[in-house]
Structure 1
């Protein structure tokens, strides 16, 4: 495949037309048109639907653009780095991170990374959903206990666990009597299986608050409303100060935070740099290291 023709095709796809691409890049419109025509002939595919006034990608053209645009950008960046004599991280780095990590630590981590690598344009979006890395053009995603995905590879950089905590004023349950609870998500009656140094027991929970953020849940528990399940990193300061009490660990609640990237792409210098920066931020990957980022 002709890489020059592929690069011109991506220019036209990015700008939405031959004229627009020519004006934005200074390339002759006729040259762009000829190269795209040659690429279509070589692939035996129609990449654009050419109307009287507009130009639209075909389904095949859209797939080719999505899968090759980032690769060509990486090739350009690699060539520039080699020409400058060093593989220095540079360019745009888009990351998707979960809500709680973003609220507690990612601001400080992003600031430190930006100071160390000023040539990288770091963009971090916060969402707990499973994003499509290719479709949405992310370079790296951070996810909690992700499902296996053959298209992605990565590494665990942090571990945590869920614990049940409550205000000292809240009386621990006796027998099957439920206690008021603060939950994330649907506010339905539930039972929590808890392990302590004295053994395992079950806590019946009658939700009186259902909140969408773990930060909100923590703040409500601090106010003495009820018991809650929370990551120990989020409440470690409260447990140390005695403002919250540890009722036990939730069975099977191990939390692993993964940094994931597409396995079919070469790992760019900027992604490698961010992975190394995460390792420096959490050298042992323990809840205490995350707790150090959390304001009291």
Structure 2
């Protein structure tokens, strides 16, 4: 099979037509059309339907694109590395990050990373869903407590803990024989839920007074004295240091681990290795801290 013809097919499929592919690659539409036709003849199947409404991939064309787009990119990366030097950190780096971490940290981190590696263009997408790194062409993903996945490898670069905090004006009740009932601002609430504090601390029975959909809203409501809140310590560290909030205790249980992950289907490129090392270097003690 002619890999150049396969690359041209993926170029046309990615851009959704011969015209757009021609403009993007600065090659003639006739050449691209001929190469795709040659590939169809070699395979004995129709890959693209050329109708009055534009280009559409056939089922065979969709399967071929899905299975070859990533490997062809790897070949291109390998050729670039061989041509320009295997240690060069350059190119586009596409990163998927959870919304809260992205909002509080990724702007500064992205700027610092590019200062170190000016030949890299960062593309950071903030979403809480689990992106498919291969299908959506992400180079790396940042995820809390990722499930074991043989298709992904990476490194835990920081840990965080859920803590219970309140404004200094909120009176802390004396512990009794049973759960301690306290007004609370909550999200993802389940009736009958209790919070067990670590290190022998009391069990708290939150009494929901506000139900909010984001951790930053919980933090701000706690700052305003609405009640206690259970939030990641990373987002209240500055407020605790300034005395604007008081930590009642950490939630009993394992720490939250934040990982930087990349696909194991390909050798990590220099830009991916550089980003993984960079993220670990920003949290040398392994504790997640975020700007206040």
- TM-score over 0.5 for the pair: yes
Aligned to 1:79: 79
Aligned to 1:48: 48
Aligned to 1:192: 195
Contact preservation (8 Å) 1:182, 1:207 = yes
CA positional deviation for 1:72: 2.7
Contact preservation (8 Å) 2:180, 2:203 = no
**Structure 1: tracts of 5 or more residues without a match:** none
Equivalent runs, 1:32-71 vs 2, <5 Å: 32-71=32-71
Deviations 1:95-120 (A, max 9, x none): 11112211222111100011122221
Equivalent runs, 1:1-296 vs 2, <5 Å: 1-85=1-85, 87-173=87-173, 174-175=175-176, 176=179, 178-186=181-189, 188=191, 190-196=193-199, 199-287=200-288, 290=289, 293-295=290-292
Contact preservation (8 Å) 1:259, 1:275 = yes
Change (3 A) 1:283 1:43: farther
Contact preservation (8 Å) 2:86, 2:270 = no
Rounded to whole Å, the distance in 1 between the matches of 2:55 and 2:99 is 39
CA positional deviation for 1:263: 1.4
Rounded to whole Å, the distance in 1 between the matches of 2:213 and 2:273 is 33
CA positional deviation for 1:211: 1.6
CA positional deviation for 1:239: 2.8
Name the stretch that deviates more: 90-99 or 48-57: 48-57
Contact preservation (8 Å) 1:221, 1:227 = yes
What is the TM-score when the length of structure 2 is the normalising length? 0.89
CA positional deviation for 1:167: 1.8
CA positional deviation for 1:128: 1.4
Rounded to whole Å, the distance in 2 between the matches of 1:280 and 1:242 is 29
Rounded to whole Å, the distance in 2 between the matches of 1:239 and 1:19 is 58
CA positional deviation for 1:269: 1.8
Change (3 A) 1:253 1:210: farther
CA positional deviation for 1:224: 1.1
Change (3 A) 1:186 1:259: same
Secondary structure, aligned partner of 1:274: helix
CA positional deviation for 1:145: 0.8
Rounded to whole Å, the distance in 1 between the matches of 2:243 and 2:281 is 30
RMSD of Structure 2 on Structure 1 (CA): 2.3
What is the TM-score when the length of structure 1 is the normalising length? 0.88
Contact preservation (8 Å) 1:193, 1:200 = yes
